Amino acid sequence: MIVTKNLKNVKSKDPSILTLGTFDGVHKGHKKIIKRLINESKKSNLKSLILTFFPHPRNVINSNSEIKSISTLEEKTEIFSKLGVQELIIQDFNKSFSNITAEEFIELLVNNLNLKKIIVGYNHKFGKNRSADINSLKNYGSKYSFEVIEIEAFEIEDIKISSTKIRNSIESGEIDKCNSFLGYNFNIKGKVVKGKSIGKAIGFPTANIDLDEDYKIIPKNGVYLIKSIIENEKIYGMMNIGFNPTFGINKKTIEVNLFNYDKDLYGTTLKVQLIKFIRDEIKFSDVEELQNQLKSDRENCIDYINSTYNN
């Protein structure tokens, strides 16, 4: 898949079919639209294009907004590629771009993409202040000679999913619900950095993760069952997100304790998939009480793994 930054830099003049949006999380509803894009591109012999925007448009339009992303650009790009999209265009969304009119935006698409078809949901809005809708788009299609394929409500509303619902489920620790909406396990990725070695001192060594992107959403504080693929091996473990209140640490950390794994991961990049929320973060009266709880957490995780994956 070709990845191009900004519409003005698109080089290909091949006739194309396009879908566009933020696609945060690339959830099941998004995938339904993208699969339709791929099928239409093959049927009509058109190049399949996705246009997405970064940073999140709502964070640019509303300076008081700070929407954290379910997926990073890298994660979205990987999913689009696996789905078979031929080219991804990442449009820099800034104040200037947010102020172009609906027709100016359409002219950009037509002039730069050799656009023949565009596929969008029935409730798609675009242009300055989201002033134009699907009917406006169809009128522009007639004027600029491209076909509009509308995905109607009944085709996508049987999947009651939205990126907002997924963000809410992540922030409330409802990882099971989040993963069912996404169709895959929510994950976080970052470099393993030196911590205070508290986990090692109490018998639960941890890999401290420094996230790759600060715009990525972080789940609520607490303990989670996680899975990681390391050197092609599936490794389960548990992860704590929070402030380690028992030790009075003021900085939020993400610490992963991997089961039956003792290799040095410092300096490497670790990607973990969140499977299940285990419990809220707790302040314990002493280290022994914390150790007993961690043993219980590990047993709960292993019981869940055995009952869910080994039957």
pLDDT (0 to 100) of residue 182: 94
Q: Is residue 169 part of a domain?
A: no
Q: Is the pLDDT of residue 12 over 90?
A: no
Residues 10 and 126 in one domain: yes
pLDDT (0 to 100) of residue 154: 52
Assess contact for 187 and 76: CB atoms under 8 A: no
pLDDT (0 to 100) of residue 248: 63
pLDDT (0 to 100) of residue 91: 96
**Mean pLDDT (whole number) for 155-163:** 65
Residues 180 and 301 in one domain: yes
Q: What is the pLDDT of residues 82-104, one digit of tens each?
A: 999 999 999 999 999 999 999 99
**Pair of tokens at residue 18:** 């396009």
First CA to last CA across the chain, in angstroms?
39
Assess contact for 117 and 149: CB atoms under 8 A: yes
Residues 130 and 257 in one domain: no
**Mean pLDDT (whole number) for 300-307:** 93
Q: What is the pLDDT of residues 192-242, one digit of tens each?
A: 998 776 667 677 888 899 998 989 999 999 999 999 999 999 999 999 998
β-sheet with 47-54: strand ranges across: 2-5, 87-92, 47-54, 16-20, 115-121, 147-151
**Pair of tokens at residue 163:** 């990126």
Amino acid identity for residue 256 in this structure: V
Residues 136 and 272 in one domain: no
Q: Is residue 170 part of a domain?
A: no
Expressed as residue numbers, the domain containing 240 is 175-309
- Per-residue pLDDT band for 124 (boundaries 50, 70, 90) equals confident
**Pair of tokens at residue 142:** 């007639």
Higher pLDDT among residues 162 and 187, named by residue = 187
Q: What is the pLDDT of residues 140-153, one digit of tens each?
A: 999 999 999 988 76
Q: Is residue 138 part of a domain?
A: yes
Out of 132, 161, 190, a domain closes at: 161
pLDDT (0 to 100) of residue 155: 55
Q: Is residue 17 part of a domain?
A: yes
Per the prediction, the chain carries an average pLDDT of: 90
Contacts of residue 158, defined as CB under 8 A and 6 or more positions apart, other chains included, come to none
Q: Is the pLDDT of residue 160 over 70?
A: no
Residues 25 and 134 in one domain: yes
Which of 295, 168, 171, 273 is CA-nearest to residue 222?
A: 171
Residues 152 and 13 in one domain: yes
Say how far apart CA 302 and CA 258 lie, in whole Å. Answer: 12
Residues 100 and 150 in one domain: yes
Out of 126, 161, 196, a domain closes at: 161
pLDDT (0 to 100) of residue 247: 66
pLDDT (0 to 100) of residue 114: 94
Q: Is the pLDDT of residue 156 over 60?
A: no
pTM of the model: 0.89
Kindly report the CATH number assigned to the domain that includes residue 299: 2.40.30.30
- Per-residue pLDDT band for 159 (boundaries 50, 70, 90) equals low
pLDDT (0 to 100) of residue 140: 94
CB atoms within 10 A of CB 139: 15
* Domains held by the chain: number: 2
Q: Is residue 166 part of a domain?
A: no
Residues 200 and 268 in one domain: yes
Lowest mean pLDDT among 73-77, 121-125, 141-145: 121-125
